[in-house]
């Protein structure tokens, strides 16, 4: 009986340690760090201190997620690059991992969504906490770094937008007054886009507030100087909200 208690207690302690470990930031191994150094453009531009910070965000994100391939093997490099994409957005919030989104599903190519019936490059499913992305399109986004088309950033932006309003201990990280400013400016710009008078963003940004945010994030990281010049109020608000200024890098 006593031995049984010790065994049970040991199992309990082990389970507790594993729970504590899961999702906590850790460090990258040398091969993961080499992947960032080789492929992650933003990481390459950072100073040493910021590179360490970026690595911690990537490590935290990788460890927090369940990674699944849709008919494919999800290689370690894919996990690093998708996590690096999330880390771009989370650079101003190094303790966040978008924890509502527990699962990342990687498709080899565009896929037909059973929800919409249409071909998708990626999507977020807030109800089931899933982010999906087509690896081919993800790579395409990073192969053309100044066309403001980046499905990885787009879907992570959706995840961040949802995460901010899901009560799970990570919510309300976007400053409420800045967020309200953003929504007000976005409403006005959405009207302009719908009447064919967009100042910069592609027409899809006029769909609704979440799509406006996701498209704006693509421009924010891929064409920051144009964004700052053409939409100065929106750029300043987004920069303050995300606590970073890519136009200054
Ligand atoms: Zn979208």
**Do residues 165 and 173 touch, judged by C-beta distance below 8 A?**
no
CATH number of residue 223's parent domain: 3.40.390.10
Q: Confidence band (pLDDT; 50, 70, 90) for 16?
A: very low
pLDDT in tens, 148-159: 999 999 999 999
For residues 129-136, give the mean pLDDT. Answer: 98
- Distance (angstroms) between ligand 1 centre and the Cα of 218 equals 11
Q: What is the pTM of this model?
A: 0.89
Angle at 83 (CA atoms; ends 86, 227), nearest 5 degrees:
30
Residue 186 tokens, joined: 């976005």
- Distance (angstroms) between ligand 1 centre and the Cα of 175 equals 22
What is the predicted pLDDT for the residue at 115?
82
Q: Are residues 64 and 150 in the same domain?
A: yes
pLDDT in tens, 30-65: 999 999 999 998 899 999 999 999 999 999 999 999
Alpha-carbon distances of 131 from 150, 155, 204, rounded to whole Å: 15, 7, 20
Q: Are residues 198 and 137 in the same domain?
A: no
pLDDT in tens, 97-121: 999 999 999 999 999 988 889 999 9
In this predicted structure, the answer to whether residue 248 has a pLDDT above a threshold of 60 is yes
- Distance (angstroms) between ligand 1 centre and the Cα of 112 equals 15
Q: Say how far apart CA 4 and CA 1 lie, in whole Å.
A: 5
- Distance (angstroms) between ligand 1 centre and the Cα of 39 equals 25
List, in sequence order, every residue forming a beta bridge with 124; answer none if it has no partner. Answer: 131
Where in the sequence is the domain holding 198, given as residue range(s)? 174-249
């Amino acid at each position: 009986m006593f031995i049984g208690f010790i065994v049970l207690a040991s199992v309990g302690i082990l389970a507790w340690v594993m729970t504590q470990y899961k999702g906590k930031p850790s460090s990258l191994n040398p091969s993961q760090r080499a992947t960032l150094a080789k492929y992650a453009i933003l990481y390459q531009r950072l100073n040493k201190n910021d590179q360490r910070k970026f690595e911690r965000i990537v490590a935290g994100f990788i460890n927090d997620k369940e990674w699944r391939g849709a008919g494919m093997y999800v290689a370690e490099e894919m996990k690093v690059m998708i996590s690096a994409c999330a880390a771009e957005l989370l650079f101003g919030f190094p303790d966040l991992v978008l924890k509502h989104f527990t699962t990342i599903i990687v498709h080899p190519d565009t896929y037909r969504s059973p929800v919409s019936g249409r071909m998708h490059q990626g999507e977020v499913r807030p109800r089931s906490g899933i982010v999906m992305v087509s690896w081919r399109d993800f790579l395409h986004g990073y192969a053309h770094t100044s066309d403001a088309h980046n499905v990885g950033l787009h879907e992570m932006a959706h995840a961040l937008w949802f995460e901010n309003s899901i009560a799970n201990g990570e919510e309300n990280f976007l400053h409420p007054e800045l967020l309200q400013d953003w929504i007000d400016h976005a409403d006005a710009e959405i009207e302009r886009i719908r009447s064919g008078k967009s100042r910069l963003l592609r027409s899809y940004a006029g769909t609704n507030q979440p799509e406006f945010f996701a498209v704006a994030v693509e421009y924010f990281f891929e064409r920051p100087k144009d964004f700052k010049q053409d939409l100065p109020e929106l750029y300043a608000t987004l920069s303050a909200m995300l606590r970073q200024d890519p136009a200054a890098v």
